[in-house]
């Protein structure tokens, strides 16, 4: 259960940190940043569900879901760095279509999910490392933590 609490707190912490940087340091989020926030919040939700469950099979399935979500977060961060940061097009990106179009989160909770800047204009670093790399690292750590939620049994040694 401790691992699930760590996953929950770390996921919410990542979003809280992003909001502190947005509102405290005027680091405006692009569509891919906002999509990564959404993925962190979905991981937090899955983790909260797992905390309340006791059946190992369901928890294993939820761990697999978290690992897949973390993988999608890593993919979003890499895409942001490799492709979106160099794009100056005004077309809606996949991230904008998910967050704004399909889920309408930018209207429901604009303080968290509204896209404030384009990826090419909003590229920023923290300690000289692009923000999206920090996000990818956080997703990787969450994937490892989700993998570690499985209880390992030691073989009986005579």
| 52 secondary structure, DSSP code | T
Is there a contact between 73 and 135 (Cβ–Cβ < 8 Å)?
A: yes
pLDDT tens digit string along 98-115? 877 777 787 778 788 777
Q: In whole angstroms, what separates CA 115 from the centre of its chain? A: 16
8: pLDDT strictly greater than 50: yes
The confidence band for 119, taking pLDDT boundaries of 50, 70 and 90, is low
pLDDT over 70, % of the chain: 85
The count of other CB atoms within 10 Å of the CB of residue 145 is 22
Tokens of 118: 């384009």
Instruction: Please give the Cα distance from 138 to 109 (Å, whole number).
Output: 23
Q: 35: helix, coil or strand?
A: helix
- Exposed/middle/buried for residue 124 (C-beta within 10 Å: 0-12, 13-18, 19+): middle
Domains contained in the chain, CATH given:
2-148 (1.20.1550.10)
90: pLDDT strictly greater than 50: no
31: pLDDT strictly greater than 50: yes
Tokens of 154: 């030691």
């Amino acid at each position: 259960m401790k691992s699930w609490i760590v996953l929950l707190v770390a996921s919410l912490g990542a979003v809280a940190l992003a909001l502190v940087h947005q509102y405290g340091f005027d680091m405006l989020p692009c569509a891919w940043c906002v999509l990564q926030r959404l993925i962190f919040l979905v991981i937090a939700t899955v983790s909260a569900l797992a905390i309340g469950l006791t059946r190992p099979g369901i928890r294993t399935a939820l761990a697999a879901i978290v690992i897949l979500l973390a993988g999608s977060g890593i993919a979003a961060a890499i895409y942001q760095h490799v492709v979106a940061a160099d794009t100056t097009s005004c077309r809606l990106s996949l991230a904008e279509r998910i967050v704004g179009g399909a889920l309408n989160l930018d209207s429901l909770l604009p303080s968290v999910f509204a896209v404030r800047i384009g990826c090419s204009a909003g590229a920023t670093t923290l300690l000289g490392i692009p923000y999206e790399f920090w996000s990818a690292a956080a997703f990787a750590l969450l994937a490892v933590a989700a993998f570690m939620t499985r209880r390992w049994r030691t073989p009986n040694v005579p």
